[in-house]
Amino acid sequence: MKKTFKGGIHPPDNKDLSKDCPITGLVKLPGQISVLMSQHIGAICKPVVKKRQEVEKGELIGDSEAFVSAKVHSPVSGTIKDINLRSHPVLGRVQAVVIEPSEAEPACPPEQNSFADFSEDDYTPEQINEKIAEAGIVGMGGAGFPTGVKVGPNPKMPKETMIVNACECEPYITCDYRVMLEWTDQFLAGIKLLRKASGCRKCYIGIENNKPEAIKLLRERTENEENIELSVLETKYPQGGERQLVNSVLGKVIPTGKIPPMVGVMVCNVSTAAAVAEAVIDSAPLTHRAVTVTGKGVQKPANLYVPTGTPTEHLIEQCGGLKEEAVKVVLGGPMTGFSVGELQTPTTKTTGCVLCLTKEEVGEAKYLFRQTPCIRCGRCLSVCPEKLNPTKIAHAVKADRLDLAEKHNISACMECGSCSYICPANIEVTGYIKTGKIRIARANKDMPA
Amino acid sequence: MSENLRVSPAPHISRKHSTKTIMLDVLIGLVPASAAAVYHFRQHAVILILTCILASVAVEYICCKLMKRENSLGDLSAVVTGLILALSLPPKLPVVYAVIGCIFAVGVCKMAFGGLGCNIFNPAMGARAFLTVSFGMAMASWHLPAQMNPDMPGLGPDTQVNAKNSSQEQKDQDVKLDAVTQATPLSWVKKAVKTRNAEKASEIIKSNWPNSQLKYALTGNIGGSLGETNALALLAGGIYLLIRRTISWHIPAAVLGSAFVFAEIGYLFDKTAFANPLVHMVSGGMLICAFFIATDPVSSPITRAGTVVFGCGVGLIIVLIRLFGAYPEGVMFAILIMNAFTPLIDRMLPAKPIGGIPDGK
């Protein structure tokens, strides 16, 4: 029996566009790199550099004293041109350190030799933890929770099992898949380090069955590993949702609105594991990541090794530019990513994909925002991976009844977008729920609307 | 390059379907039954189906105009309502009554509540109920399918005489055979129960329902409403909807399953007074109800558990009315009664989030 969870959807995965493109470095660096001071969930960093200052590659440029936060480093050597507001894919406009690179040669993916003959016994959990925090590593799957905080000891919720989220369940994205195929040593080293640092006994790699090459390779490589086990899951969205993944792999149910540590599980992403290996073994901070540039709206889809803070436009140009049919550019996947109107928007540590969609891919009705009345078909309920009643929550938000929305567990919604995807009336169910959450947060903080 | 880019909340892709494609699927699913209706009842079927569809569409158009709303004909729901209403009517119902039915279905049962998605009752069934209480005689006169042989074995004794007389008349006056009226299978059964004479009842049931009669019900060679006589055509359409995933299997299974169970209980209790459950399955509006009417998303519950309860309720009420009620057939009232319970069912069986806290608690 295939391991899976209840609910979910099967959108066409469109991974063929980029899945055979190896990760390559940029041909040339952009003229300016804007490193946003908010790369993660948690406190926004403060710049620790000044205008016109010279910075080295890997130098600290942003830091915060808050517990839930992660340091920000310069991805290139160069001069600080400006410290100013720049557009952020999620938060609107956020302070950014703008660097003009001085080096001519853009960076290449890390040398793999150093990861092959490594032993996790050389490091103590404390050492690993410190290096992760120093390197400013955040969850690279999308949410961006600081890894240092996640891995660190928490006496209230001891971690027993670790699950590596290798599902990459969103359509189009292939960067994690390429990382597993090309940076296998680094990836596996990162897993071992994370396992040691968190004190987990067993580690599972949860991977969807639409990646047979990666499954075969990892199976060969983990055959002799006692504590690492491959868990092949059904291809379904959102198989990579933390709560769904834990349910699929371990059969454990996490209480409504709670997170995996509640049941002693730590979930981390493929790219995060790779970044941990680099941080611990090479002492390199997290400044680059693999990014998939894809969609039928871009000329030549590719997987690129990208410095954090590169403008979206530069990545699209590197891939031959947008096609005329392109109508939407999304940072992140098609289900949870953020559409950008300004192509200057820089990538962050959590940007795994630059998606250029055509009108045909978006769909006529969705393109025109054409909404018809809800016919109570219940499709949103049957696909909701959290088994909520999305229509009811959306109706409550629409009617400005935030109390009702809370009663219907609006906070338990993970915003996976399955309900909007399936809705025949093309209602932006997820959009309403997101709005509702923001309004509830504002009401609780007495913030002006 | 960025001027034409669109910004909207995630997700940025959606399944390529809409309310219109769902309605279109229902219409395609009803094609076999409609074709069978035309085959069995000839021009009467054509006239009724066309009248109902056109009248429903016209009523919706006028309502939209009056309510100063955007024209909503594009979602095809008015066509579906018209077709289902037509298929639930007796073949030779006067066209005027059919038009009145459409006005009631779309104008009162649907648009007066606020249009598609807001109606509490199934519009077609609401209209049929309205017609039944308003024009009882016309709604209870059944006509033989055109190709039915009046000498066919198994017809009720009284019917047979009628049929023969009619066919004699037909020869004399050169009118078509479809002028013949006849009781529907379910009215035979009803008659058997009503006589309260066990011996006579068993005789009627036996003489009208030898096993070979199932064959006639399956192929539609029997009296009844336009679209309910041909069980095979309805099954084919229902299977199409299930394959296309336009409907989930829960409601049809619940309706048919519960009706079968309750009919079986009656049958075991008194074989002479109640018909074989298989008879109930293939006769009357049972199949069209299970696949096309009870599955109306708007007026059925929204959760899986709710739809199962709804379906079981429909099945139970159909059988209760058929066995003990004043009408030979119970689909229409079963649907309307359960429609009224839908909000309650939704409230009693809310969605249960993964990990415990039920919705709305």
Q: How many other C-beta atoms can be found within 10 angstroms of the C-beta atom of residue A207?
A: 28
Which residue, of A264, A282, A300, is where some domain finishes?
A282
Q: How many other C-beta atoms can be found within 10 angstroms of the C-beta atom of residue A449?
A: 6
Q: With an 8 Å Cβ cutoff, are B307 and A362 in contact?
A: no
Q: What is the pLDDT of residue B162?
A: 42
Give the mean model confidence (pLDDT) for residues B16-41: 94
Contacts of B149 (CB under 8 A, 6+ apart): none
- Here the tokens at position B42 are 């000839």
- Here the tokens at position A288 are 């680059």
Q: What is the pLDDT of residue B340?
A: 96
- Measured between CB atoms, which of A330, A381, A389 is closest to B12? A330
Q: With an 8 Å Cβ cutoff, are B297 and A342 in contact?
A: no
- Give tens-digit pLDDT for A244-286: 999 999 998 998 888 898 899 999 999 999 999 999 998 899 9
Q: Is B245 exposed, middle or buried (0-12, 13-18, 19+ CB in 10 A)?
A: exposed
Q: How many other C-beta atoms can be found within 10 angstroms of the C-beta atom of residue A438?
A: 12
Query: What is the C-alpha separation between B155 and B165, in angstroms, rounded?
Result: 14
**Least confident among A372-376, B166-170, B213-217:** B166-170
DSSP string, B13-49: ---S--HHHHHHHHHHHHHHHHHHHHHHHHHHHHHHH
Query: What is the C-alpha separation between B92 and B276, in angstroms, rounded?
Result: 29
Predicted confidence band at A16 (pLDDT cuts at 50, 70, 90)?
Answer: very high
Q: With an 8 Å Cβ cutoff, are A338 and B115 in contact?
A: no
DSSP string, A224-248: T-SSEEEEEE---BTTTSHHHHHHH
- Here the tokens at position B21 are 């494609």
Statement: residue A417 has pLDDT above 90: yes
Helix (H) or strand (E) holding A204: strand A202-208
Residue closest to B148 by CA, chosen among B174, B173, B184: B184
**Alpha carbon B211 to chain centroid distance?**
25
Minimum CA–CA partner of B1 in chain A: A322
Minimum CA–CA partner of A321 in chain B: B1
- Here the tokens at position A302 are 């590719």
Predicted confidence band at A22 (pLDDT cuts at 50, 70, 90)?
Answer: very high
Statement: residue B178 has pLDDT above 80: no
Which residue, of A262, A282, A302, is where some domain finishes?
A282
Predicted confidence band at B10 (pLDDT cuts at 50, 70, 90)?
Answer: confident
Give me the domain span that covers residue A163. Answer: 120-282
Write phi, then psi, for B46 (nearest 5 degrees). Answer: -60, -50
Give the mean model confidence (pLDDT) for residues A106-133: 84
Q: With an 8 Å Cβ cutoff, are A389 and B13 in contact?
A: no
Å between B10 CA and nearest CA of chain A:
5
Q: Please list every residue in chain B whose beta carbon sits closer than 8 Å to the beta carbon of residue A256.
A: 353-357
DSSP A410: G
Q: Please list every residue in chain B whose beta carbon sits closer than 8 Å to the beta carbon of residue A340.
A: 5, 7
Å between B22 CA and nearest CA of chain A:
8
Give the mean model confidence (pLDDT) for residues B29-56: 94
Minimum CA–CA partner of A337 in chain B: B10
Interface of A with B in 335-364 (CB under 8 A): 335-343, 355, 357, 361-363
Give the mean model confidence (pLDDT) for residues B341-359: 85
Q: What is the pLDDT of residue B160?
A: 39
- Measured between CB atoms, which of B2, B19, B302 is closest to A381? B302
Predicted confidence band at A112 (pLDDT cuts at 50, 70, 90)?
Answer: confident
Q: Please list every residue in chain B whose beta carbon sits closer than 8 Å to the beta carbon of residue A381.
A: 302-304, 351
Q: Please list every residue in chain B whose beta carbon sits closer than 8 Å to the beta carbon of residue A389.
A: 302-303, 350-351, 359
Q: What is the pLDDT of residue B161?
A: 36
Statement: residue B46 has pLDDT above 90: yes
Query: What is the C-alpha separation between A175 and A189, in angstroms, rounded?
Result: 18
Query: What is the C-alpha separation between A243 and B25, in angstroms, rounded?
Result: 35
For residue A192, give the CATH number of its domain: 3.40.50.11540
Q: What is the pLDDT of residue B213?
A: 63
Statement: residue B290 has pLDDT above 90: yes
CB B315 within 8 A of CB B262: yes
User: To 5 degrees, how large is the angle CA A340–CA A341–CA A343?
Assistant: 80
Minimum CA–CA partner of A391 in chain B: B302
Between strands A92-101 and A78-88, the pairing is antiparallel
Statement: residue B331 has pLDDT above 60: yes
Q: What amino acid occupies position B360?
A: G
Statement: residue B170 has pLDDT above 50: no
Contacts of B6 (CB under 8 A, 6+ apart): A327, A328, A339, A341, A362, A367
Q: What is the pLDDT of residue B153?
A: 40
Angle B304-324/B250-269 helices, nearest 10 degrees? 30
Predicted confidence band at A15 (pLDDT cuts at 50, 70, 90)?
Answer: very high
Higher pLDDT, A42 or A302: A302
**Which single residue is written with the structure tokens 């309403």?**
A432
Statement: residue A113 has pLDDT above 50: yes
Please give the interface size between A and B, counted as residue pairs whose CB atoms are below 8 Å apart.
186
| A277 plus A376 within the same structural domain | no
Strands of the A46-47 sheet, one edge to the other: A46-47, A60-63, A72-73
Statement: residue B115 has pLDDT above 60: yes
Asked whether residue A179 is domain-assigned, the answer is: yes
CB B80 within 8 A of CB B31: no
**Average pLDDT, whole number, for chain A?**
90
Q: What is the pLDDT of residue B300?
A: 95
Contacts of B327 (CB under 8 A, 6+ apart): B132, B190, B321, B333
Q: What is the pLDDT of residue B224?
A: 82
B168-to-A437, B143, B147, B155 alpha-carbon distances in Å? 76, 16, 16, 17
Q: Does A378 touch chain B (CB under 8 A)?
A: yes
Query: What is the C-alpha separation between A389 and A379, in angstroms, rounded?
Result: 10
Residue closest to B106 by CA, chosen among B132, B137, B130: B130
Distance separating the N- and C-terminal Cα atoms of chain A = 49
| A275 plus A128 within the same structural domain | yes
Q: With an 8 Å Cβ cutoff, are B2 and A409 in contact?
A: no
Q: With an 8 Å Cβ cutoff, are B13 and A334 in contact?
A: yes
- Give tens-digit pLDDT for A235-246: 999 999 999 999
Higher pLDDT, B155 or A110: A110
**Least confident among A132-146, B72-86, B309-323:** A132-146
Q: What is the pLDDT of residue B207?
A: 60
Q: With an 8 Å Cβ cutoff, are A357 and B355 in contact?
A: no
Domain count, chain A: 2
Statement: residue B165 has pLDDT above 70: no
Minimum CA–CA partner of A390 in chain B: B351
DSSP string, B172-191: HHT--GGG-B---HHHHHHH
Q: Please list every residue in chain A whose beta carbon sits closer than 8 Å to the beta carbon of residue B81.
A: none
CB B193 within 8 A of CB B202: no
Q: What is the pLDDT of residue B327?
A: 82
| A278 plus A376 within the same structural domain | no
Predicted confidence band at A226 (pLDDT cuts at 50, 70, 90)?
Answer: confident
Give the mean model confidence (pLDDT) for residues B126-146: 87
Range among A105-114, B51-60, B211-220 with highest mean pLDDT value: B51-60
**Least confident among A103-107, B84-88, B176-180, B285-289:** B176-180
| A129 plus A278 within the same structural domain | yes
Asked whether residue A228 is domain-assigned, the answer is: yes
A200 in a labelled binding site: no
Predicted confidence band at B204 (pLDDT cuts at 50, 70, 90)?
Answer: low
The region, left, alpha or beta by phi > 0 then psi within -120 to 50, assigned to residue B196 is left
Which residue, of A282, A313, A336, is where some domain finishes?
A282
- Here the tokens at position A116 are 């092959």
Q: What is the pLDDT of residue B148?
A: 58
Minimum CA–CA partner of A362 in chain B: B13
Asked whether residue A115 is domain-assigned, the answer is: no
For residue A429, give the CATH number of its domain: 1.10.1060.10
A21 in a labelled binding site: no
Q: Does A87 touch chain B (CB under 8 A)?
A: no
| A149 plus A250 within the same structural domain | yes
- Measured between CB atoms, which of A340, A384, A391 is closest to B7? A340
Residue closest to A76 by CA, chosen among A96, A93, A52, A98: A98
Q: Does A327 touch chain B (CB under 8 A)?
A: yes
Asked whether residue A65 is domain-assigned, the answer is: no
Q: What is the pLDDT of residue B333?
A: 94
A319 in a labelled binding site: no
Statement: residue B151 has pLDDT above 80: no
Q: What is the pLDDT of residue B203?
A: 65
For an interface test with B, give the residue of A335, A367, A387 to mutate (most B CBs within 10 A): A387
Q: What is the pLDDT of residue A353?
A: 94
Q: Please list every residue in chain A whose beta carbon sits closer than 8 Å to the beta carbon of residue B351.
A: 381, 384, 387-389, 392
CB A264 within 8 A of CB A161: yes
Residue closest to A262 by CA, chosen among B352, B354, B358, B361: B354
Give the mean model confidence (pLDDT) for residues A40-64: 89
Q: How many other C-beta atoms can be found within 10 angstroms of the C-beta atom of residue B251?
A: 26
DSSP A9: B
Q: Please list every residue in chain A whose beta carbon sits closer than 8 Å to the beta carbon of residue B353.
A: 256, 386-388, 409, 412
DSSP B143: B
- Measured between CB atoms, which of A382, A386, A424 is closest to B304? A382
- Measured between CB atoms, which of A340, A409, A422 is closest to B15? A422
Q: What is the pLDDT of residue A153?
A: 81
* Strand, helix or coil for residue A306: strand
- Paired strand residues for A93: A87
Minimum CA–CA partner of A260 in chain B: B355
Higher pLDDT, B274 or B310: B310
Higher pLDDT, B143 or A338: A338
- Measured between CB atoms, which of B13, B75, B353 is closest to A412? B353
Strands (E), A261-387: 265-269, 288-294, 302-307, 326-331, 338-340, 353-358
Asked whether residue A174 is domain-assigned, the answer is: yes
A74-to-A48, A70, B202, B323 alpha-carbon distances in Å? 11, 13, 92, 81
Residue closest to A388 by CA, chosen among A421, A426, A325, A430: A430
- Give tens-digit pLDDT for A316-342: 999 999 998 899 999 999 999 999 988
Q: With an 8 Å Cβ cutoff, are B17 and A424 in contact?
A: yes
Higher pLDDT, B125 or B195: B125
Asked whether residue A81 is domain-assigned, the answer is: no
Residue closest to A70 by CA, chosen among A33, A36, A108, A32: A36
Give the mean model confidence (pLDDT) for residues A107-127: 82
- Give tens-digit pLDDT for A164-189: 999 999 999 999 999 999 999 999 99
| A249 plus A131 within the same structural domain | yes
Minimum CA–CA partner of A413 in chain B: B353
- Measured between CB atoms, which of A329, A330, A388 is closest to B353? A388
Minimum CA–CA partner of B300 in chain A: A376
Statement: residue A155 has pLDDT above 90: no
* Strand, helix or coil for residue A336: coil
